[in-house]
Amino acid sequence: MSRVGLLGYPLSHSVSPAMHNAAFAALDLPWRYELLETPAEDLPAAVARLRRGEWMGANVTIPHKARVMQLLDEIDPSAAGIGAVNTIVRDGERLIGHNTDVTGFQVDLRSHGVEIDGDEVIVLGSGGAARAVTAALIPGGAHIRFITPLLDEAQRLIEDLVTASSAQAQILPWEDGSFAGIQCRLLVNATPVGMSPEVEACPWPQDIPLPADAFVYDLVYNPAETMLMKRARTEGLDSGSGLGMLVEQGALAFELWTGKTPSRQAMAAAAQTALEQRHA
């Protein structure tokens, strides 16, 4: 039995085991995907555990996507250029970091009919997920406004990813509400706000209307309709959850681990079923 898992904290929201184990079963692979709930202080030990023979790698989620890089032996260009790892592959005794979030986001955004070509985009957050979203938007020459309380983190993101590109960026502090009235083609929530079990939370202020013509994309996928998505629906806007991105980035990670192409349909169905069961 080969094993892979998910490093993060907390992980009660995750449907990744159901998704990946369905894909393993569909290909009759003797593999198992497990949750490896890992507080920050336990991350070095958890990564060291991956070097054991039965572990073939892992996914990485909040809050470890940046910090985990210093614990790995090699960083693939897909992750090095972003400054965030979401997939670890064990190669002998070496651990190699990759990032499949960028392509996962691009593929799912296109599935919603959204193409960015020099358009205005608002990104909520500035961490590892926001880095992947930014890298995905840069080829389209987006003008990105980051709304976050973590101004230094956002500035590092811009310096690392945006400055040398054709895209443009601006930081707007969360606290002062100076983003009220700003319009955009796309609004992306790249924070965990609204994720189960805190399903009543919303990353957009209640007293500020959403941008009138925006497509609202919430990287949170549990619950299936977040409070932000409900706000979008109420205000007449189209929206999408991060479930499609989860499936696509997971399928790409699956290929890195196994060398085989999984059934994305099986993965999506299993993830959807797991979500429905949790909120039945």
How high is the mean pLDDT of the chain? 96
Say yes or no: 62 and 28 in one domain: yes
- pLDDT tens digits for 215-233? 999 999 999 999 999 999 9
pLDDT over 90 (residue 176)? no
Query: Residues near 29 by Cβ (< 8 Å), separated by ≥ 6?
Result: 2, 258, 260
Residue 128 inside a domain? The answer is yes
- Name the residue type at position 254: F
- Report yes or no on 37 lying in a domain: yes
Percent of the chain with pLDDT over 70: 100
Same domain, 91 and 28: yes
pLDDT of 151 reads 96
256 lies in some domain:
yes
Q: What is the CATH number of the domain that holds 123?
A: 3.40.50.720
Does residue 140 share a domain with residue 88?
A: no
Q: Which of 13, 20, 65, 98 is catalytic?
A: 65
Q: What is the pLDDT of residue 53?
A: 86
Same domain, 204 and 274: no
Q: Are residues 117 and 214 in the same domain?
A: yes
Query: Is 70 within the bounds of a domain?
Result: yes
Q: Considering its fold, how many domains does the chain have in total?
A: 2
Q: What does the pLDDT read at residue 228?
A: 98
pLDDT, position 161: 95
Residue 106 lies in a domain: no
Contacts of 68-71 with C-beta under 8 Å, sequence gap 24+, read 68/7, 68/43, 68/97, 69/97, 71/43, 71/44, 71/47, 71/95
* 30 token code pair: 């003797």
Pairing label, strands 215-218, 239-241: parallel
Q: Is 260 a catalytic residue?
A: no
% of the chain with per-residue pLDDT over 90:
92
Instruction: State the pLDDT at residue 279.
Output: 73
Q: Are residues 165 and 134 in the same domain?
A: yes
Residues 140 and 174 in one domain: yes
94 part of a folded domain: yes
Report in angstroms the alpha-carbon separations of 89 from 53, 95, 101, 262.
12, 6, 15, 17
Identify whether residues 217 and 127 lie together within a single domain: yes
107 domain residue, yes or no:
no
**Residue 51 and residue 93 share a domain:** yes
Work out the average pLDDT over 86-97: 96
**Is the pTM for the entire model greater than 0.85?**
yes
Domain holding 63: CATH number?
3.40.50.10860
| 91 and 141 share one domain | no
Residue 280 has pLDDT above 80, yes or no: no
The answer to whether residues 52 and 155 belong to one domain is no
The domain of 218 spans: 113-237
Confidence band of 166 (pLDDT split at 50, 70, 90): confident
Q: Measured between alpha carbons, how far is 33 from 259 in angstroms, rounded to an integer? A: 16
The amino acid present at 44, given as its one-letter code, is P
Q: Could you tell me if 39 and 127 lie in one domain? A: no
194 domain-assigned: yes
